[in-house]
Structure 1
């Protein structure tokens, strides 16, 4: 296990985010490192990268030849380190929920766990692009665990004209087009969530994509 510390100057927040590579494909350490660093920056939390593990039993749907993201979330919750505030799984398998053909990831709204799949986001000839896509979706899904829902803002907190990282991601093109960062509104809601533990979005059901 290794850790990415909080960026200098950012407020200390409780509990690291545990990050697992889950799958049979060899882990790309540089990609995982990029995801860990961007998550640490965006949420001002330490990220503890765990030892890679094989796919948990019981997540595969043999008929669909895909893995259930919800079963993956259950596994992550059950195996979350005691000191972790959140747990993020990065996996090489294609994920689904019953009502959709596939999902890039899923999370428990205001919960503990999030999972992101590289199956449709990977660009084999471009590791940097793969890392950027996974980092965006990791921040997006973890944002749901901190109470953030989908956002239509078209400018990030750095003033760049790009959809907020919490924008919906129906396609790889949409993932590439959006910012890697929260918009000012989502940043403010994240800060409020840290202070209060909840906010006006609590009525949205769990889990969230």
Structure 2
């Protein structure tokens, strides 16, 4: 069983964390949550873009938590972030370390009425997607697999929150959500 650590890089409602941990547990992962918030440096913020640099945050998380005995560490924050060559990212990952940025997963970002259930579903998908990357999975061509690449919120909404059979086999996990 893979061991996953969730790290909050901003304040996040406990119900959101509970939904994430329950979802990942149902998929067959052992999940722990770091109790304190790991505040990120304001120097990672690009004042011209009004966004955080996702690569700098990922680099920080990788160096700070490198010695922690987990298979995957996912940092989650209520921020908007970008990566080189992209206007924004929902998340970013390397082997073992991942990040998920919540701002663009909310309906209010798109000037629509906020729907908490839809927001939670999107968060579960993006956390699971980045977790898959931390464990060595690439993007999947299956249109419903959580590992399908998402370049828009519509693409996030169109995939499931679970790994397809092929991706589960690669991870050697049998649980279905």
Normalization by structure 2: what TM-score?
Answer: 0.86
| Range 72-81 or range 85-94, more displaced | 72-81
- Indicate the residue corresponding to 2:73 in structure 1: 87
**Long gaps (5+) in structure 2:** 109-113
Residue pair 2:12, 2:78 contacting (<8 A) in 1 also: no
Out of 159, 166, 176, the residue aligned to residue 185 of structure 1 is 166
**Long gaps (5+) in structure 1:** 1-12, 155-162, 193-209
- Considering fraction of residues, name the structure with more helix: 2
Shift of 1:40: 2.6
Residue pair 1:122, 1:130 contacting (<8 A) in 2 also: yes
Aligned CA RMSD, in angstroms, stands at 1.8
Count of residues in Structure 1 that have an aligned counterpart in Structure 2:
166
- Indicate the residue corresponding to 1:159 in structure 2: none
| Range 26-35 or range 123-132, more displaced | 123-132
Q: Which has the larger radius of gyration?
A: 1
Shift of 1:165: 0.6
- Indicate the residue corresponding to 2:15 in structure 1: 30
Highest RCO, 1 vs 2 (Cα 8 Å, sep ≥ 6): 2
Normalization by structure 1: what TM-score?
Answer: 0.73
Does 2:6 correspond to 1:19? yes
Out of 126, 132, 149, the residue aligned to residue 121 of structure 2 is 132
Residue pair 2:100, 2:130 contacting (<8 A) in 1 also: yes
Residue pair 2:23, 2:124 contacting (<8 A) in 1 also: yes
Does 2:86 correspond to 1:105? no
